A and B are shown apart, each in its own frame.
Chain A
Amino acid sequence: GEDVEQSLFLSVREGDSSVINCTYTDSSSTYLYWYKQEPGAGLQLLTYIFSNMDMKQDQRLTVLLNKKDKHLSLRIADTQTGDSAIYFCAERPPGTYKYIFGTGTRLKVLA
């Protein structure tokens, strides 16, 4: 497909792990990104992964990349109420500096 796809909503309990999934469009995309958007704010870069990597860990965040299936996931360990936000994945196809953003997943963390 031509769209970067994400599920719209995810609800988890505080302290649990959250997994946000993304299916992207171009298997040759060089970099893939995760952004967080809190209400009334701009997008904040959380992390990115280069396409020759399968996994990247950064504190509570773990990114998994499956190039064969064009699947990207973001795992947030020990999810906190402050993690409630919209999470966007994005890909940068080769030969362009444009990003293709997903539709965003709204994460709600229940206390």
Chain B
Amino acid sequence: DAGVIQSPRHEVTEMGQEVTLRCKPISGHDYLFWYRQTMMRGLELLIYFNNNVPIDDSGMPEDRFSAKMPNASFSTLKIQPSEPRDSAVYFCASSSAGPYEQYFGPGTRLTVT
């Protein structure tokens, strides 16, 4: 398996623009997680899905953030409108049953100017 795939790897956008981050989980995994990592706040869980259904979105910062999982092999995290304070590395991770160890993608580095 290719592991968790994220795109794009880098995104630079201007304040106010819409940003869409994409994730393909490992085949057969039924949990998907979106995280944000910054120097100031560390690693924060934004939302996670089980069988394509959002289970806990309590970490989503505000209404500007939304996430979807239309099928088992694809998820998006959208920020509209983007702000400079959204600049961070966004990770997607997936896991399956058992110890539920999470496997992380390489991340998307977002810079909002």
Q: Which residues of A contact B (CB under 8 A)?
A: 31, 33, 35, 41-45, 48, 50, 88, 92, 96-99, 101, 103-104
Contacts and interface: CB of A to CB of B under 8 A. Distances in A.
A91 to B, nearest CB: 12
B48 A98 contact: yes
Nearest to B104: A42
Contacts of A97: 31, 48, 50, 55, 95, 100
Interface residues of B, number: 21
15 contacts: A33-B101, A41-B107, A42-B106, A43-B91, A48-B99, A88-B43, A92-B100, A96-B56, A97-B31, A97-B48, A97-B55, A97-B95, A98-B56, A103-B42, A104-B43
A106 B67 CA distance: 31
B107 A42 contact: yes
Contacts of B48: 97-98
Interface of B: 4, 31, 42-43, 45, 48, 50, 55-56, 91, 93, 95, 99-107
A36 to B, nearest CB: 11
B43 A41 contact: no
Given A43-B43, A99-B45, 7 more contacts: A31-B101, A42-B105, A43-B91, A50-B99, A88-B43, A92-B100, A97-B95
B100 A31 contact: yes
Nearest to B3: A42
A103 B4 CA distance: 23
Contacts of B91: 42-43
A98 B45 contact: yes
A45 B102 contact: yes
A50 B42 CA distance: 25
Contacts of B104: 35, 42-44
B95 to A, nearest CB: 7
